[in-house]
Amino acid sequence: EAKAKRAAAPMASQAPAECEEVATGAAMRNEFVPAPPVEAGISVMYPLPGRFTVKSGEAEKKVKIYEKIMVAEFEYFCLPRISQLAYLTGEVKNETAYLFLSGDASTYVGDDFTGRISMPSVAPDEKVVISFGVDERVKVERKTVKSKVSKGGLVKKNTRYEYIYENLLTNYHDKEIKCQVVDQLPVSQSPDIRIQDMSLEPKPAEEEKDMAIYRWKTLVRAKQELKITVSFAVEIPLDALVQGL
């Protein structure tokens, strides 16, 4: 289970003799004490903390192998061009000696169930980003400020498309939040199609020029709004068609 909690816990890797000593004290307090993993070449074995009986024909039984509370860095991910929703994500680092195996996982924010995800395998010291679902208290909107089509040209007739979009993100939380907003501009794959007058305000933190993908990473204060303005123009031959602008 993945829970959105900001808490730290001590490392659980100890030598076998120390584990035996800790287990004795913990057993008196009726606490769960995991057994450290055992590496065997390229494979890893997970000793079970105690003995368990599985009767013939009995349904599957779940056994706790390890439990760890990890610190997460939370961020809202938004892609207004595709979806006007804000997704809460948390980046965590596997600070244990355990290889976390891939499989289905349940996610919670506090005690509220937010969904099920497919977790990849996570090696010790590796980082992974976990999605905790949509947060309705962060509103995302994409407005079309300008949409103009004109035809003309002195020598070669063409069609010119002009667009201005506003990406708006409003934080209705009582606290400051960290956000990442992603947008993409058109990319020409033909010499007859020209992308002109591109403008991004404010300037993005990261960009992938080949794909014209831009990322803004910023903090949005409580009850405040973030506005990102994107504008561009596209010129194509008069008899050509273009979609998805």
**Predicted local confidence at residue 219, as pLDDT:** 97
Q: At a CB cut-off of 8 Å and minimum separation 6, what does 87 contact?
A: 76, 77, 78, 131, 132, 133, 134, 135
Determine how β-strand 103-109 pairs with β-strand 2-3. parallel
Cβ contacts of residue 64 below 8 Å, gap of 6+?
32, 34, 49
pLDDT at 21 over 60: no
Is residue 24 over pLDDT 60? no
Q: DSSP E strands: which ranges in 96-137?
A: 103-109, 112-119, 127-134
Q: Residue 229: which residues within 8 A CB-CB, separation 6 or more? A: 145, 164, 165, 166, 167, 199, 200, 201
Asked whether residue 31 carries a pLDDT value surpassing 50, the answer given is yes
* Range name among 1-10, 47-56, 182-191, 235-244 with the lowest pLDDT average: 1-10
Identify the residue with better confidence: 167 or 102.
167
Model pLDDT for residues 85-123, shown as the tens digit of each residue: 999 999 999 998 888 889 998 888 888 888 889 989 999
Between 130 and 68, the more confident residue is 130
- Give residue-wise pLDDT tens across range 46-78: 888 778 788 888 777 788 888 888 888 999 999
pLDDT digits (tens, 9 = 90+) for 172-223: 999 999 999 999 999 988 888 999 999 999 999 999 989 999 999 999 999 9
* pTM for the structure as a whole: 0.75
30 pLDDT band (50/70/90 cuts)?
Answer: low
| pLDDT of the residue at 97 | 86
